[in-house]
Chains A and B, each alone.
Chain A
Amino acid sequence: MILSAHHLGRDYPTPSGPLTVLDGITFSLEAGESLAVVGPSGSGKSTLLGLLAGLDQPSRGRIEIEGRDLSAFSDSESAAFRARRMGFVFQSHRLLPALSALENVRTPLDLAGAADATTRAIAWLERVGLGARRDHQPRQLSGGEQQRVAVARALANDPALIFADEPTGSLDQRTGADLADLLFSLAAERRTTLVLVTHDERVAARCARQLRLVDGRVQA
């Protein structure tokens, strides 16, 4: 078991008392499995992803990753864990605008202290079909290309887990489908666990399992 959540909850303090955004989330994932998190806007999907990635602390409950309790990690431990074992894809590409495509892909390798960062980054760019565009700045790429660079960046250090928050949300249908193909095939090939937030039913249907959130709770 690579990832499991037990009675997970998150409250946000607001002027009118605490607001419960997530409550009673329990599930577990085996290595190589894929999970689609679906639900209406504001139902807590992104919040859940942030908790699973150790970017935020749960108000209740427990998360275990590769058998270790995430709450026991210090800031630098969870950062190092993200750098080595996790990859991220956002809805809007979130590439660093000052860096070239290649440098963007290298970043997690650099942060993890990888030795052959440049070669590996070039290889990944070629895998996503952008080998020729490696010195281009993000603004010189189309939306779909930007998102492919983001996928290459997420996979660059062979993570055990990939979190993708609406990765096709800002792409047109055709480009979105291509990107989903890319993501699923790369994940399957390397037996990477994939947690994917999406509004697209067709994308969700390609995942082995689905988790439907409504108002912060799992709907069976």
Chain B
Amino acid sequence: MTARIRLAWRLLVGRRGLAVLALACIAIGVAARGAVTGTVAAFEAHLAREARSLIAADLEVSSARPLESAVRESLAAVLPPGSRTAELRTLTAMAAGGGQAVMVELAAIGEGWPLVGALGGEPVASVIDLGRSPQAALVDPDLLPRLKLQVGDELVLGRGHFRIVGSIVSEPGNGGSAFRLGPKVYVPLAALGPAGLGDPGIRARFHLLATVPDPADALAVATALRHRLKLSEAPLEIMGPGPAGDQVSVRTAGEAAQTAARAIARGADFLRLVALFALGLGAIGVAALARAMMLTQAEDLAVLRVLGADRTSVAGVFLLQAVGLGLAGGLLGTGLGAGLATGATLAMGLAPAWPLTIDLALGLVLGIAAALVSTLVPTLTLARMAPLAVLRGEAPAAIPWVTTALILAATLGTTLILAAVEVRSWLIGPSIAAGAFILAGGLALAGGLLLPVIARLKPPSFALRQGWANLSRSGGTLLVALGLAAALGSALLTLRGSILAELAPDRLTQLPGFFVLDVQDDQQAAFTAFLGERGLVPNLRPLVRARLQAIDGVETKAAGEAVALRSREAERRAFFHRREQNLTWAVAPGPGEHLIAGRWPQAATECAVETRWADQVGVRLGSRLRFDVQGVEIELTITGLRRIDWLTFQPNMFITCAPAALSGAPAVWIGTIPTMATPLRQTFTADLARRFPNITAIDIGDATVKARALVARLSAGIAAVAVVALLAGLAVVAGTAAAMARARRQESALIRALGGTRRTVALALAVEFGTATIVAAVLGSAAGLVGGLLLTTSQMQVSLTIPWLEVTALILVLSSTATGTALITTRSAWHVPPLAVLREE
């Protein structure tokens, strides 16, 4: 056995060039995966470490309604002696000052908050002032310039006048949320009432926080409390950092950290899919290299057969080389990935963490598997070869196509399963992987049809003629590998371009100016009149909270009951099935709303639902939905399906009924206000905040700017991984070119012996690779645009905007770097003196 390993090693070292390229092909994909995994592990470790400061306590009880004394007593009963508690209320409010107003996220903190971690202010003493003075406010440093205020100035929140004692430097758990609707402001809890921000009409979230002497007891305490309150298990949080709904929710710091970790993991799934894509590209490269190695080693291995090696050990030597390459590539990739992850985590200010050993092992296994799968066909070819025929100079006979087809099918199956595991979805991962396979097949087919046609063109220039004639020899693999890389690149560019275009500043003119929340039933008339005085007509819509209890008579599962969510689909279903639903009523479709099936609800027992919601929940026209509308049960039959253009920012709900269905139900109103001229706008928010302190107005222009920044940041992350896919594509090009360099050496030497110059030879190669790579980049980008179209229109409901400039740049960069790579790799074919080559054989 050791003799065989040594032999495999020596043969491999003899073909160093090919081996190094194969190593790179494997390492890139594994490294990308390792980088993603390592970064996520660092995040998770950070969250686990900082779990307590994430909610600034060990345990949190919260609700959208004031916490009843029964809840407080239950908490007091389950807390062990030595525990501490504190209160917190969070809400959005309008902050006015300097003649302007902006929406802020208000945290009203009770005595003792934060129980864990610290709130830091500038000046340092400001935090103490916040505890001492009932009128103090500690504000986000961003808020001050926006309101043209300074520390010490007055800030109006609701009807209350506060003094800005300082600006926020640090918050426990980094404030918890990455995306905020507005700047953060801390005030003492006692100040809310006098400011009119404690009124029942003001939407807020009420938190009761506790620490226990031993944080390890937190879960047991939470479980006991849930039991007392007759709550099901931990709350399910799909969107956003905090629990939704007016149900009382109990969560521990650990559970909050898990929720946050889950959100990060969801994003990482897709990055891992891109890494898998890069590994797939790498496997194509290894397949090309393995074929070349097989051809160059066939004679050596035939000699071994003559010397007394049997079929299995000859194939074994080759297979051992593949395993060795996979192992080395996997190790190199894992090391590289860990390095990248460490760099990324340090850059984000987190402590680097080593991903779980099982994850590292998986990267290695993936590398070895990719190397093995892509060398299976050459290995079998070698096992079946007739040594005498090979020694006579014949190429080993091809293996039966059935075997090849079986290997391909097995590869496809394994990849689909891997994709499902990486994205944790039996639908999304495999369908993207299957799409990539179909694309690869399409590219191979297109290449098979197109390249011979080009090859048949007989231009007068020798270089063109020679380059094109060789196309069908080299083009196939290049076309598939580069085409896939180009497709990924252009799909991502299209997606990003379309989303950014949707959020573009010039689209704002078509959008409303403000989004308003929390207009109470009894404020609606006064609010409309207030706007009327300023020549503005709002589009308001009632919102009635309800709980979905049954579909077609079958009870729905409470959202909180499914905690162990293994797949993305399960999460989605649970989200759409969650009981809390918002209903609205209208006599006809509003702006940006279209009835696409059935008819508009007219009777009190009818409703129309949004079509995608219907798909997710699994209801159709005629389905019956039973709701509990704040104590009153109603059953509604779906008579219509609606499509809603959410990006018009017009208010709407998944479920709409006839006005009669909800008459008498308590509603709040949400809506939009048209854009207004700048002078009016400057005083508008301040006037609004003074007149209706509870109404929140979100500046849509502001929000889109923030959303654009968020998209830009997200796309930077995706682009980084996409670059990896492009690198893998280039490695494949280098591999394919190196694979045929030996054959080309002979040919080029011959051309030069016949009177061709070095330039002619290089030119012919450049024509060959240039044409193949441009065809690949164009075909791949076209396919990517189609993919982008599908994603934008069906998944994101964004209209397609093709970033022509960027896609053209992608094609140019990809084809020129690929051609350059190929020319460098085949340098020996056009650079070496021809006599040296001809003497070699």
Contacts and interface: CB of A to CB of B under 8 A. Distances in A.
Given A97-B14, A107-B304, A79 B309 contact: yes
Nearest to B301: A96
A45 interface: no
Interface stretch (A48-56, A124-132, A173-181, A195-203): A48-56
B508 interface: no
B13 interface: yes
Contacts of A72: none
A220 interface: no
B7 A110 contact: yes
Nearest to B11: A98
A108 B388 CA distance: 18
Given A82-B306, A83-B309, A88-B307, A55 B10 contact: no
Nearest to B311: A75
Given A55-B306, A108-B307, A76 B388 contact: no
B386 interface: yes
Contacts of B15: 98
B387 interface: yes
B308 A80 contact: yes
Given A97-B14, A98-B13, A111-B3, A88 B386 contact: no
B391 interface: yes
B300 interface: yes
Contacts of B465: none
A112 B303 contact: no
A148 interface: no
Given A99-B10, A107-B7, A110-B7, A153 B388 contact: no
B312 interface: yes
Interface residues of A, number: 32
Contacts, number: 78
Interface string B671-710: 0000000000000000000000000000000000000000
Contact of B309 (A53, A86, A111): A111
The secondary-structure label for the interface of chain B is helix
A96 B300 contact: yes
Contact of B307 (A50, A76, A82, A113): A82
Nearest to A137: B14
Interface in B1-30: 3-4, 6-7, 10-11, 13-15
A76 B316 CA distance: 13
A4 B300 CA distance: 30
A83 B305 CA distance: 9
A98 B388 contact: no
Contacts of A78: 310
A111 B304 contact: yes
A116 B299 CA distance: 27
Contact of A53 (B11, B13, B306, B311): B306
Nearest to B314: A79
Nearest to A76: B310
A96 B305 CA distance: 12
Contact of A96 (B3, B4, B11, B386): B11
A46 B387 CA distance: 13
Given A56-B386, A97-B14, A98-B11, A90 B391 contact: yes
A56 B388 contact: yes
A103 B312 contact: no
Nearest to B15: A98
Query: Could you say which of B299, B306, B391 has the most chain A C-beta atoms within 10 Å of its C-beta?
Result: B306
A56 B385 CA distance: 11
Contacts of B309: 79, 83, 111
B308 A50 contact: no
B7 A80 contact: no
Nearest to A96: B300
A62 interface: no
Contact of A98 (B4, B10, B308, B386): B10
Given A94-B303, A97-B14, A82 B387 contact: no
Contacts of A97: 14, 300
Interface of B: 3-4, 6-7, 10-11, 13-15, 299-300, 303-313, 386-388, 391
24 contacts: A55-B306, A56-B386, A75-B310, A79-B305, A79-B308, A79-B310, A82-B307, A82-B308, A83-B308, A83-B309, A86-B308, A94-B391, A96-B300, A96-B303, A96-B304, A97-B14, A98-B14, A99-B7, A103-B10, A107-B7, A108-B307, A108-B308, A110-B3, A111-B309
List the 7 shortest-distance A-B pairs measured between CB atoms, nearest first. A98-B14, A83-B308, A79-B310, A110-B3, A82-B308, A76-B310, A50-B388
Given A90-B391, A99-B7, A110-B6, 11 more contacts: A47-B388, A55-B387, A75-B310, A76-B312, A79-B313, A81-B308, A97-B14, A98-B300, A110-B4, A110-B7, A111-B307
